[in-house]
Structure 1
Amino acid sequence: MQQQRIYLHGLWLISIFFYCSYCSTDAQVAKEVIGLQQPTVEAIQQRNFELLQEALPLGWKAFCEAPVDESVMLLHSGINPCDASIHVMTITNQSIQLPIKAISEVSDFDINPKRKTLVYVNAYYTPDSYFSVQSHLKLLQTTRRDLNIIVVDFARDVLQLYYTVRHHVAVQGHFVAKILNVLMQKGVAPEDVTLAGHSVGANIAALAANIYADQVTNSNVRVGQLVAIDPALMCSPADIYVQANVSSRVIVIHGEGDVFGVREQRGTIDIYPNGIGFFTRRKLQPGCDTRSCSHMYSFVLFMEALIEGVMIPAVKCDSWSHFRKRQCDFSDALAIGLKYPKQSKGVYFCLTQPNPPFTFMEHGIKYQRSLASSAKTNLI
């Protein structure tokens, strides 16, 4: 019996020895792991950038669900809605950048109540490329001196875009509404104002139009028109503010209609270049091989119309099928830009090219297989 106890005791000691050896080894490993260099805040932030850059081409769902470390983002400047900027023009044709909190100073610059006014809301980031949003907008400001042009920029980089689409839309809508109030105090008539924006910016512009209408005493006073360029699907459907009643007239220029832009009709006028976003089997705009390219395509059309003065006509049709069969109301045509016939209402189609100049001119409103097939060249 004593021998058995000694034997069991020995087993117990051996077990304790191995357990403690395991603990010691585990503790040593832990010490080694702790001793390793921890990722710096800058390294984590760089990883955030990489994750968002990889997710954005996949659409809003992937972008909104990217596994970023928001706590680290908050340590960096730029993601606060107050870090946005306003771009206004001087009488010497210079574009000046102001912080968003300098809204009251907008009226100190070259704002003429006798001109039409364009307030463009940018909330879509693009790297430097042919599709660069910022370079197009700067060129627009310096080219169209017949307009009061104010650019509100909420997304100079991909982090600002992430926080805009996830958290800041409501705040930014109020910022733009305050700019509208300043313009009206300067003597600009609401009916002479066009709010415009692409993607997320289209929804912020629509929200601003709604906020402004709610704030004025006369409930019939609304901004003249909203031009919503491929409005974003957003992270939440509740943030899709583009609706036909947010301003006196709402023009929606569709571009992608799948993972980035809305497919359904949202305006008093809905333009579907090349049927993309309307006809489900057609996915990519001419010359595009990615959805993000198609999402940007309608923005480039709008810029070509405004900067180059190129006419890009579209015709009213009941459907893409009717457009292909030329069963359209050819007496009801319009051109992409800022001016639209008062009586125009409904769905419009056109054919465009893969490279600038994008227009087929009047040939673009009458479907031709040869024109449609020529749109296979890669966009520059």
Structure 2
Amino acid sequence: MRALFTMKKSAVFQIIGVVCLICQALALEDPSKVSQNIDNVQKNNLKLLTEQLNRGWRAFCDAPVDEGVMSLFQGINPSDARLLVMTITNQSVELPIKSMGQIKDFDIQADRKTLIYVNAFHTADSYFSVQEHLTLLQNSRRDLNVIVVDFAKDVAQLYYAVRHHLSVHGYFVYKILRALKDAGIPMEDVTLAGHSVGANIAALGAQLFAKENKQVVGQLIAIDPATMCRTTDILVKQNVAGRVVVLHGEGDVFGVRVPMGHIDIYPNGIGYFPRRKLQPGCESKICSHMYPFVLFMEALIEGVMIPATKCESWAKFRQGDCNFQNTINIGLVYPSNAKGLYFCLTQPNPPFTYMEHGLRYKTKRLEKSTTKKSN
């Protein structure tokens, strides 16, 4: 028995010795090399996510990233989100999300309509730059209370939003709505808007607000809502707001194809059928996914009219068999009787509108030769 104890004791000391050697090795290792290794893993994470993003949300969500290393970097946690509001001197101010209660201290007025734009789709500086368009929107539409809720600092932030943080982001939007209500902003004058993942986050915030306050916000504008990692996370529904407008763009691997709102607008019919066609001027599906965002921004920032007409289907629109008396313009204001499917034609370059000519399919045939290469 004593011999057995001696053997166990010896084994314990051997293990302790090995652990000590490991600890010494780690202590001697250059901290800069450890940091460099972590940075290399993170670079690979971002490379994987960028590559998989081009294949759609399912591939993006299943990317074999090292989440342990990714979580070490800033911009991952929902609390890293930011708010952009305007001062009375026309200056844009960035606030941490935890300061949402201070919104009432900025240029928010109860006699204006309010637009809360939820951004969860980061883009590099380019023609489709989300951040640049939103800055222009805030600076140009001083007739509105424009609040930007930015959850997208980088592609890693987007990954965590679609995989883990959707419910927390939605709760933040709900809290912003509560803060505005407490500040005397009429909820019927509030429009929530968002593109892609942001559309589902905005819908969740509206849903939580309706549940807790027995009151719905006036309007939700969902710009090509993302198909997400799980179908249960597709949250754009008619009952979350007084009016739900869906502006479709891609409808294959990024955006939801089926009608989801009181009003569903299909520019160029893309996404209405599961055919792999692209929006005018686009050479990729992700470009088609971004295309309706640019249409929406052109309508709001430039004041451009982009009309669409009610029609039973895309086939009927191509035949010219539509109710051309029932038309709407992409933007924030819609007739109270507008409901159903709407179609229009738009151009590959700004200004995107064909004006009233975009209500007739024959315009598409005239422009076919100029857009064939892009499609």
TM-score, scaled relative to structure 1? 0.88
Contact 1:275 1:282 in 2 (8 A): no
- Tell me, yes or no, if structure 1 residue 189 matches structure 2 residue 186: yes
Corresponding residue of 2:287: 293
2:246–2:261 CA contact under 8 A, matched in 1 = yes
Distance 1:345 1:55 in 2: 36
- 1:159 and 2:156 correspond: yes
| Aligned equivalent of 2:204 | 207
How far, CA to CA, are the matches of 1:271 and 1:66 in structure 2? Answer: 32
Paired residue for 1:150? Answer: 147
Residue equivalent to 1:50: 47
Percent of aligned positions that are identical: 63
Which residue, 351, 365, 370 being the options, matches 2:365?
370
Partner of 1:358: 352
Report 1:253-332 matches (<5 A).
253-281=247-275, 283-332=277-326
Cα offset, 1:150, TM superposition? 0.2
Matches within 5 A, 1:90-239: 90-216=87-213, 219=214, 221-239=215-233
What's the counterpart of residue 40 of structure 1?
A: 37
Indicate if the aligned counterparts of 1:193 and 1:223 stay in contact, CA closer than 8 A: yes
Detail structure 1 runs of 4+ shifted over 3 Å in the superposition: none
Does 2:350 correspond to 1:337? no
Cα shift readout 1:64-104 (whole Å, capped 9, x = no counterpart)? 11110000011111100000000000011111000001111
- 1:16: which partner in 2? none
1:323–1:366 Cα contact (<8 Å) kept: yes
Deviations 1:138-193 (A, max 9, x none): 00000000000000000121010000111101001010111011111111101000
Q: Is the 8 A contact 1:353 1:375 kept in 2?
A: no
Tell me the amino acid that sits aligned with residue 191 of structure 1.
Answer: E
Q: Which amino acid aligns with 2:42?
A: Q
Distance 2:281 2:50 in 1: 22
Asked if the contact 2:188/2:216 (under 8 Å) is kept, the reply is yes
1:245 maps onto 2:242 in alignment = no
Q: State how far apart, in whole Å, the 1-side matches of 2:61 and 2:366 are.
A: 37
Deviations 1:291-342 (A, max 9, x none): 0000000000000000000000000001100000000011110000000000
Question: Is the Cα contact below 8 Å between 1:228 and 1:242 reproduced in 2?
Answer: yes
Q: In structure 2, how many angstroms separate the alpha carbons of the residues matched to 1:352 and 1:199?
A: 20
| Partner AA of 1:278 in structure 2 | Y
Change (3 A) 1:378 1:127: farther
For residues 98-136 of structure 1, give each alpha carbon's deviation from its aligned partner in whole angstroms, at most 9, with x where no partner exists: 000111111110000000000000001111110010000
Q: Distance in 2 between matches of 1:374 and 1:334?
A: 28
Question: 2: CA distance between counterparts of 1:151 and 1:105?
Answer: 14
Does structure 1 conserve the Cα–Cα contact (< 8 Å) formed by 2:295 and 2:352?
A: yes
AA of the residue aligned to 1:263? R
1:32 corresponds to: none
The answer to whether the 8 Å contact 1:305/1:311 transfers is: yes
Cα offset for 1:281? 2.9
CA distance in 2, matches of 1:256, 1:192: 29
Structure 1 residues 282 and 74: CA distance shift in structure 2, 3 A: closer
Distance in 2, Cα, partners of 1:174 & 1:281? 36
Q: Is the 8 A contact 2:249 2:292 kept in 1?
A: yes
Once residues 375 and 137 of structure 1 are traced to their aligned partners in structure 2, the CA distance between those partners, rounded to angstroms, is 30
- Structure 1 unaligned segments of length 5 or more: list them: 1-34
In structure 2, distance between residues paired with 1:242 and 1:378: 34
Is the contact between residue 354 and residue 378 of structure 1 (CA under 8 Å) also seen in structure 2? no
Aligned alpha-carbon RMSD (Å): 1.4
CA shift in 2, pair 1:184/1:203, >3 Å: same
Check whether the contact 1:244–1:267 (CA below 8 A) recurs between aligned residues. yes
Please tell me whether the aligned partners of residues 257 and 273 of structure 2 are also in contact (alpha carbons under 8 angstroms).
no
**In 1: Cα distance, 2:54 partner to 2:342 partner:** 28
**TM-score (normalised: structure 2):** 0.89
